[in-house]
Amino acid sequence: MNNIWLVMIFGGLITFGMRFSLIYLLAEGRYQVPATMRKALHYVPPAVLSAIIFPELFLREGVLNISLENFRLLAGLVAILVAWFSKNTLLTIIAGMLALFLLQVLLLG
């Protein structure tokens, strides 16, 4: 049991050290990020978010499901529309969750 705690503590310290060192170097001005890398890093958050969200919306039990019976996909479409028009993250999350809840309650009975 003690080995698990040691691994968790050392893993956390190593992760913190790696991240802090990059932040420290960039904040102190000792290292300049090239413009090409800065442009590439701009696309990382949407790519990671897409990799997390799209399987939840499109896959049901490992099978592609783009039918009207896929409530998560329909709620995702509602959230996309709300995000498009409102540009408000909190409102988008609430609208998507509310749409999923209402679809499940009203259509599953």
Same domain? For 87 and 54 the reply is: yes
Same domain? For 56 and 78 the reply is: yes
Same domain? For 13 and 54 the reply is: no
The span from the CA of 62 to the CA of 86, in Å, is: 33
Same domain? For 59 and 87 the reply is: yes
Same domain? For 20 and 48 the reply is: no
Structural domain boundaries enclosing 95: 40-108
Same domain? For 68 and 84 the reply is: yes
pLDDT category at 20 given cuts 50, 70, 90 is confident
Is there a contact between 78 and 94 (Cβ–Cβ < 8 Å)? no
Is there a contact between 34 and 28 (Cβ–Cβ < 8 Å)? no
Same domain? For 45 and 11 the reply is: no
The span from the CA of 21 to the CA of 91, in Å, is: 36
Question: What is the tally of structural domains in the chain?
Answer: 2
Same domain? For 58 and 96 the reply is: yes
For 75, residues 6+ apart whose C-beta sits below 8 A from its C-beta are 96, 97, 99, 100, 103
- Does the pLDDT value for residue 56 go beyond 80? yes
Same domain? For 55 and 84 the reply is: yes
Task: Indicate whether this model's pTM tops 0.75.
Answer: no
| Per-residue model confidence (pLDDT) at position 109 | 63
The span from the CA of 28 to the CA of 47, in Å, is: 29
Same domain? For 21 and 50 the reply is: no
User: Average pLDDT over the chain, rounded to whole?
Assistant: 89
The predicted-structure confidence for 58-87, as pLDDT tens digits, reads as follows 998 888 989 888 999 999 999 999 999 999
- Does the pLDDT value for residue 31 go beyond 90? no
